[in-house]
């Protein structure tokens, strides 16, 4: 048995064994679409909203609950659209507002919710507010919406403080008139001053604009960054991007950000239909991260600790326990995520070649067995590896350029093992366009080429090639998501019961269900925990004992 379904009892997908308040997002599987790399509907080599709409049936068939779309707003694309020049308009590269409305309606028609990105920490340097600020003088009111400061040193030639950009280099750029402005990311992404009353007002209006258009929520970019402490104190350490997520930093996770999230929660709740906010937040501890999902704040926060965890049973168990404890303490669901558009794909992080793929498939089943909500990144359902040999001239990630061609420590913030070494911080390799069908590039991505070249060997990885193959990663994901809807012990809930297991093996129970994960590079024998319903690798014949293959995860009904 590799991953065929066996008979399982039907239950309501929203059944809630814990008696917690229902909420679609508590156990939703949400699929991240990196728009420029998903599907090209107009033949210019860049993915767009029309392309996403045409490919929605793939997502419906996969069995996800919602789609998160990365920024498609008007932008000079200095950071893949995370540099927004007009928050209420679609960049012509991706379509227009009618395409956005049509996509939301089509997704709803297929039972899929739609979450869009909002980027409140910074604007583009081409945003009308920053153009006015740049054209103004030191001290003028237009500069008050950003963080402008005089420099240090006798002639002000030194940056105002020692903050470093997440992408490398100083977080400050000097204008010809001598003033410096703050950008925690690229110089084309000036940080907004949220203490200026027009900034929160403007963003409340932007949220309403998209909620009125029908979106079901927002992924809040850099949700931990909007508030800076008075006086902008020095960090006092170098390589600051490497400290993100483990050390307190003056420019991130300030208590004041929570007031903003509270006001956004009130706004979301003023709309019907359970609209949600999910924080992309980096905080030094799980407890600090859980503050973003207190009952009057956002609904979810990405759990990057799980993403960063190496393929090691003891470490994974620690992260799972810590994550569940922290969110349970505030009544929120935990989220699980293995890959996104900022990190080396997990198939490559876990090791190159077949071992990486085995582990990636197993990790996906583990993630989908845990209580809470799971985020999938486009292409992981195909088992796509990181593309590690892109020519430098084609790379577009600003982290690559600012990191001196090596990427930036914070650009691909992962604890990557040696197989992925050299790719951390290089974010183009996980953004290569999706292969849909056909024997050669662009594999059905669009009628022209693809904005980043796809490898020659991807014919066997296309959606078409994997469909119907019971051993394929795509069919494994489809089977897992289908089971997640029908097995009552999967999805909602907030705890797991750990079962005794040999070192290197994880075993936990949930109501009516057991999950086993063998992280070792060799098979192990276990007492049969139940009836196998899905496995990422072939489980041995059952007796009183059963052999579990190396680097695999198995779901058991009990």
Which residues of the shown chain bind ligand GLC in the complex (CB under 6 A)? 79, 82, 119, 185, 221-222, 280, 341-342
Crossing angle between the packed helical segments 473-486 and 353-369, to the nearest 10 degrees: 10
229 prior amide bond cis, ω within 30: no
Contact present, 51 and 41 (Cβ < 8 Å): yes
**Cα distance between residue 170 and residue 180, in whole Å:** 11
Whichever of 119 and 476 has its CB closer to ligand GLC, that residue is 119
Whichever of 191 and 551 has its CB closer to ligand GLC, that residue is 191
| DSSP letters for 355-381 | HHHHHHHHHHHHHHHSSSEEEEETTGG
Q: How far is the CB of 63 from ligand GLC (least distance, A)?
A: 25
Distance from chain centroid for Cα 239: 24
Whichever of 180 and 185 has its CB closer to ligand GLC, that residue is 185
Question: Closest CB to ligand GLC belongs to which residue?
Answer: 82
Q: How far is the CB of 451 from ligand GLC (least distance, A)?
A: 16
Which residues face 285 on adjacent strands? none
Q: How far is the CB of 280 from ligand GLC (least distance, A)?
A: 6
Q: How far is the CB of 341 from ligand GLC (least distance, A)?
A: 6
In three-state secondary structure terms, 320 is helix
Which residues face 518 on adjacent strands? 505, 552
Whichever of 218 and 436 has its CB closer to ligand GLC, that residue is 218
Whichever of 145 and 402 has its CB closer to ligand GLC, that residue is 402
Q: What positions carry a catalytic annotation?
A: 221, 280
**Cα distance between residue 450 and residue 456, in whole Å:** 13
Whichever of 70 and 323 has its CB closer to ligand GLC, that residue is 70
Phi/psi region, residue 409 (left: phi>0; alpha: psi -120 to 50; beta: rest), is alpha
Six-digit token pair at 314? 């003891």
> In the 8-state DSSP scheme, what is residue 65?
S
Q: How far is the CB of 339 from ligand GLC (least distance, A)?
A: 12
Whichever of 119 and 307 has its CB closer to ligand GLC, that residue is 119
| DSSP letters for 137-179 | -TT-GGGGGB-EE--BSTTS-B-SS--B-TTSSBSEEE-TTS-
Six-digit token pair at 298? 């956002």
Contact present, 52 and 60 (Cβ < 8 Å): no
Q: How far is the CB of 516 from ligand GLC (least distance, A)?
A: 33
CB neighbours (10 Å) of residue 512? 17
**Cα distance between residue 219 and residue 333, in whole Å:** 16
Q: How far is the CB of 4 from ligand GLC (least distance, A)?
A: 37
> In the 8-state DSSP scheme, what is residue 373?
E
**Cα distance between residue 121 and residue 455, in whole Å:** 35
């Amino acid at each position: 048995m590799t991953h065929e379904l066996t008979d399982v009892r039907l239950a309501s997908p929203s059944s809630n064994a814990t008696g917690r308040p229902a909420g679609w997002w508590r156990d939703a599987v949400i699929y991240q679409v990196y728009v420029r790399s998903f599907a090209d509907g107009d033949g210019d080599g860049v993915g767009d909203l029309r392309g996403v709409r045409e490919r929605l049936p793939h997502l419906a068939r996969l069995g996800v609950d919602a789609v998160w779309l990365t920024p498609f707003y008007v932008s000079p694309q200095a950071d893949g659209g995370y540099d927004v020049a007009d928050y209420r308009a679609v960049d012509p590269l991706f379509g227009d507002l009618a395409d956005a409305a049509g996509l939301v309606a089509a997704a709803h028609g297929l039972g899929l919710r739609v979450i869009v990105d909002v980027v409140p920490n910074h604007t583009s340097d081409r945003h009308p507010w920053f153009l006015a600020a740049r054209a103004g003088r030191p001290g003028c009111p237009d500069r008050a919406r950003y963080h402008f400061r005089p420099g240090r040193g006798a002639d002000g030639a030194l940056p105002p403080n020692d903050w470093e950009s997440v992408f490398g280099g100083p977080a400050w750029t000097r204008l010809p008139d001598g003033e410096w402005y703050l950008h925690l990311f690229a110089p084309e992404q000036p940080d907004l001053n949220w203490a200026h009353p027009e900034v929160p007002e403007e963003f409340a209006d932007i949220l309403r604009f998209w909620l009125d258009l029908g979106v079901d929520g927002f992924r809040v970019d850099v949700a931990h960054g909007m508030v800076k402490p008075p006086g902008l104190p020095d960090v006092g350490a170098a390589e600051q991007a490497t400290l993100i997520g483990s050390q307190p930093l003056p420019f991130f996770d300030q208590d004041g950000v929570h007031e903003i999230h509270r006001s956004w929660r009130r706004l979301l709740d003023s709309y019907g239909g359970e609209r949600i906010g999910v924080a992309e937040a980096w905080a030094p501890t799980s407890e600090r991260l859980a503050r973003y999902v207190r009952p009057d704040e956002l609904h979810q926060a990405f759990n990057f600790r799980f993403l960063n965890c190496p393929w090691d049973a003891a470490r994974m168990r620690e992260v799972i326990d810590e994550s569940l404890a922290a969110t349970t303490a505030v009544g929120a669901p935990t989220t699980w995520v293995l890959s996104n558009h900022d990190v080396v794909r997990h198939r490559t992080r876990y090791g190159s070649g077949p071992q990486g793929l085995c582990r990636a498939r197993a990790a996906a089943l583990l993630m989908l067995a845990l209580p809470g909500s799971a985020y999938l990144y486009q292409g992981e359902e195909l088992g796509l590896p990181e593309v590690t040999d892109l020519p430098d001239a084609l790379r577009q990630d600003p982290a690559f350029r600012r990191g001196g061609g090596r990427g930036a420590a914070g650009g691909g913030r992962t604890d990557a093992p040696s197989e992925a070494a050299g790719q951390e911080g290089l974010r183009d390799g996980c953004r290569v366009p999706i292969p849909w069908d056909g024997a050669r590039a662009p594999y059905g991505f669009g009628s022209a080429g693809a904005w980043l070249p796809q490898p020659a060997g991807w014919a066997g990885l296309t959606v078409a090639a994997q469909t119907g193959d019971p051993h394929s990663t795509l069919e494994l994901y489809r089977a897992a998501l289908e089971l997640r809807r029908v097995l009552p012990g999967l999805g909602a809930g907030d705890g797991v019961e750990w079962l005794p297991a040999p070192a290197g093996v994880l075993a936990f129970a949930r109501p009516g269900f057991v999950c086993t994960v063998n992280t070792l590079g060799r098979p192990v024998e276990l007492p049969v925990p139940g009836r196998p319903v899905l496995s990422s690798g072939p489980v041995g014949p059952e007796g009183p004992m059963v052999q579990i293959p190396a680097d695999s995860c198995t779901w058991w009904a009990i």
